[in-house]
């Protein structure tokens, strides 16, 4: 029995003779694959110049920026009282935040703007616009009438409409803000309907 204990003790000493202790080297203690994934949290400077005010004692209450999705659903045409072409644009707020009025470069307070460019067969272009002055709630529609052009309706061959060309709405993906129409328009009964 003593010989078996001696052989076991000798085997254990031989097995442990190759082990070494490594001292703490500083940067090797924590794995970078785990701790590099935590992003740095920015500290925002206290501001209270936005409406609505999403701050508490001047500091932002939410880390994420607000997102809205302004979708241009459809455009259509009609004949105005003076016989000129009027373009109607239907816009929908598909985001998670209401779109509030903000100061524009013109000095007006508005939620967003819709601009249209009409092109004739000769290549002449005219741009006109409509402004939404009131707030647009989530999942709400707004129909804006882009006022009459000076180009006669019969000469128009192309209409391009852009919702929020000023990039005022915090809409990170703007692939649904543009609609275009091509063709010929009858001056007596203009038809240029395009739906998304």
CATH number (domain holding residue 108): 2.60.40
| Residue 30: inside a domain | no
| Residue 114: inside a domain | yes
**Residue whose token pair is 């192309």:** 158
| Residue 169: inside a domain | yes
In the chain, the number of structural domains is 1
| Residue 139: inside a domain | yes
| Residue 164: inside a domain | yes
Phi-psi region of 167 (alpha: psi -120 to 50; beta: other; left: phi over 0): left
Q: Please give the backbone phi and psi of residue 16, each rounded to the nearest 5 degrees, phi first.
A: -85, -10
pTM above 0.75, yes or no: no
Terminal Cα-to-Cα distance of the chain (whole angstroms): 90
Give, for all 196 residues of the chain, the pLDDT tens digit: 678 878 877 777 666 666 555 555 555 555 555 555 666 666 666 665 665 666 777 676 666 666 678 899 999 998 887 778 889 999 998 887 888 887 777 777 888 889 999 998 888 899 988 988 888 888 889 999 988 778 888 888 999 999 988 888 877 777 889 999 999 888 888 888 899 8
| Residue 127: inside a domain | yes
Task: Answer yes or no: are the C-beta atoms of 127 and 121 closer than 8 Å.
Answer: no
């Amino acid at each position: 029995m003593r010989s078996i204990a001696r052989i076991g003790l000798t085997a254990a000493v031989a097995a442990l003779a190759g082990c070494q202790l490594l001292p703490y080297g500083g940067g090797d203690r924590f794995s970078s694959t785990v701790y590099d994934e935590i992003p740095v949290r920015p500290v925002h400077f206290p501001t209270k110049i936005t409406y609505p005010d999403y701050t508490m004692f001047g500091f932002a209450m939410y880390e994420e920026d607000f997102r809205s999705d302004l979708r241009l659903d459809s455009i259509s045409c009609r004949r105005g009282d003076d016989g000129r072409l009027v373009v109607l644009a239907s816009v929908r707020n598909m985001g998670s935040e209401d779109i509030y009025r903000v100061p524009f470069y013109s000095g007006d307070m508005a939620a967003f703007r819709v601009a249209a460019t009409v092109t004739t067969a000769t290549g002449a272009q005219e741009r006109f616009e409509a402004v939404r002055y009131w707030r647009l709630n989530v999942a709400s529609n707004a129909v804006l009438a882009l006022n009459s052009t000076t180009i006669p309706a019969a000469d128009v061959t192309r209409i391009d409409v852009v919702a929020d060309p000023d990039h005022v709405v915090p809409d990170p993906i703007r692939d649904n803000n543009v609609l275009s129409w091509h063709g010929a328009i009858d001056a007596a009964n203009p038809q240029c309907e395009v739906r998304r």
